[in-house]
Amino acid sequence: MSQIYKSLASGPVPPTVPTQFNEQTGSAVPSANILIIDAFDSFENNDNGVTTKGGVAAGDPPGTGATNEVSIYLTNRQTATATTIDATLTTILTLAAGTTGAIYVYGNVQAFNSTNPAAGTYSFSGGFRTDGVTATELGTEVHDEFEDPVLVASDIFVTSSGNNILVQVQGIAATSINWNCLLEFRRVS
């Protein structure tokens, strides 16, 4: 049996092991040589579309402790799901418009009925202005529709209510439809 011994006095020395990882907000410190990397969606407005936060667990405010987590956030986005069983207009996603400014929204919605089976996919884009109290749609949203014949009566809408931007879906009477939505946005004040 062979025994390996490494002298630090000669030859290459072992690499330095990092003890702290600094992020854009906070830092993470490995625990028992373990560093956890998480990824999340965030509606935080960030022109880069991504940010990192260290030393925080998901949902905790930055700098709340020296945990061993690095959280990566895809910003300027929200996701949501819903199920409809009739033709009632249903809000699947609500984005708070925030303070004064212009907001461009874009995204996609998927619909699936497992009984038939049948599917529909939609993309959308639209513009809004807000005074901090009321979001106003600039014209009418533009969207594409790709649907199986069974779902041709279903649809999506992008509108505003109060100071919120809404993505709404409309199902079909006596038909169960599962919906999934991704909204991304850009804003300037």
CB atoms within 10 A of CB 165: 24
User: What percent of the chain is modeled with pLDDT above 70?
Assistant: 86
Model's pTM, two decimal places?
A: 0.80
pLDDT by residue (tens digit) across 75-102?
Answer: 999 999 999 999 999 999 999 999 999 9
Task: Provide the pLDDT for residue 21.
Answer: 84
Structural contact between residues 150 and 159, judged by C-beta atoms closer than 8 angstroms:
no
From 44, 50, 96, select the one nearest 70 (Cα to Cα): 50
Domain ranges across the chain:
21-74, 78-188
Task: Provide the pLDDT for residue 65.
Answer: 46
Find out if CATH 2.60.40 is the number for domain 78-188. yes
Asked if omega into 30 is within 30° of 0 (cis), the reply is no
Mean pLDDT, all residues of the chain: 88
Quote the tokens at residue 125.
Answer: 């884009």
Task: Provide the pLDDT for residue 56.
Answer: 65
Task: Provide the pLDDT for residue 42.
Answer: 85
Residue 159 amino acid letter: T
Q: How far apart are CA 52 and CA 70, in angstroms?
A: 7
163 Cβ contact list (under 8 Å, min separation 6): 96, 97, 98, 130, 132, 133, 134, 135
| pLDDT under 70: residue ranges of the chain | 1-15, 56-66
Instruction: List C-alpha distances in Å: 88 to 91, 117, 170.
Output: 10, 21, 6
Query: How many CA atoms within 13 Å lie on the side-chain side of 14?
Result: 6
